[in-house]
Amino acid sequence: MTTAYTDLSSPVAVEGVYAPQEDSQLLIDAMEKTGLAQGNRVADLCTGSGVAAIAAGEQDAKQVTAFDICPRAVYCARNNVATAGVDVAVHLGSWARAVEFGPYDLVICNPPYVPHDPSLDDALLSHIGPARAWDAGYDGRLVLDPLCAAVPALLADGGSFLVVQSEFASPRQTLGALAAAGMDAEIVAYQWIPFGPVLTARADWLEHTGRLEPGRREEELVVIRADKP
């Protein structure tokens, strides 16, 4: 979980929906720099406020379809899409639902990826968003592993996948999982950012488990691209 990225001026999030963050912006920037959205069919998984889906539409995607398992997020994303004036269809559901509308030339995702010890109470304020928007199990891979396995079924031949995650969820494992699924994967963007409220609350635990050097309070975000042959 990162700090709020205030330059994302158009999409907004209501209480109970993950607000646009620096990880969202990093994903959007990578999508723009690679040119993968332009003229293509795009699916945005775990859309939240819809910020990445809207960006795909603004980058001249042929078709954009967004998905989220949270009804409140779907409502929020639809409102943001209408405000932005882009052609994006927003549906309730996970990537299992997304298969019904595919295949896609590009799949993008900002999934939950923050490691979490269920025995700890982080005492986070509710306005930050629902914990399921970032909590991803002890190793941060509760969503990433099944997502990597499912992506090839969503993509057309020659299609691409862009996913953003934290260093604390092991990007190397994501690369390996995508390779095991038959895709060519590499890191195409990275950024160091200060801890936001979630990782600040978990810093002591991350230090105790050996995943964070004592005193460090910044994380590296990465965007991984995977291409289907």
Whether 15 is in a domain gets the answer no
Asked whether residue 130 carries a pLDDT value surpassing 90, the answer given is no
Please provide the average confidence, as pLDDT, over all residues in the chain: 89
What pLDDT is attached to residue 118?
Answer: 72
What do you get for the CA distance between the two ends of the chain, in Å?
32
The amino acid present at 211, given as its one-letter code, is: R
Whether 95 is in a domain gets the answer yes
Distance CA 131, CA 115 (A): 11
Whether 160 is in a domain gets the answer yes
CATH number of the domain enclosing 197: 3.40.50.150
How many structural domains comprise the chain?
A: 1
Distance CA 220, CA 153 (A): 29
Over residues 11-20, the pLDDT tens digits come to: 676 767 878 8
Sign of CA dihedral 171, 172, 177, 183: positive
Asked whether residue 2 carries a pLDDT value surpassing 90, the answer given is no
Mean pLDDT of 152-159: 98
Distances (CA, A) of 169 to 71, 82, 87, 140, 194: 26, 34, 33, 5, 17
Whether 10 is in a domain gets the answer no
Task: Fill in the DSSP letter of residue 78.
Answer: H
What would the two tokens of residue 134 be?
Answer: 């970032």
Whether 39 is in a domain gets the answer yes
Whether 16 is in a domain gets the answer no
More confident residue, 18 or 152: 152
Tell me which residue range forms the domain holding 106.
Answer: 22-227
Read off the pTM.
0.90
Mean pLDDT of 197-201: 86
Over residues 39-63, the pLDDT tens digits come to: 999 999 999 999 999 999 999 999 9
* Residues 6+ away with beta carbon under 8 Å from 38: 59, 60, 61
CA atoms within 13 A on the CB side of 118: 5
**Crossing angle for the helix pair 22-34 and 51-58, to the nearest 10 degrees:** 20
Whether 131 is in a domain gets the answer yes
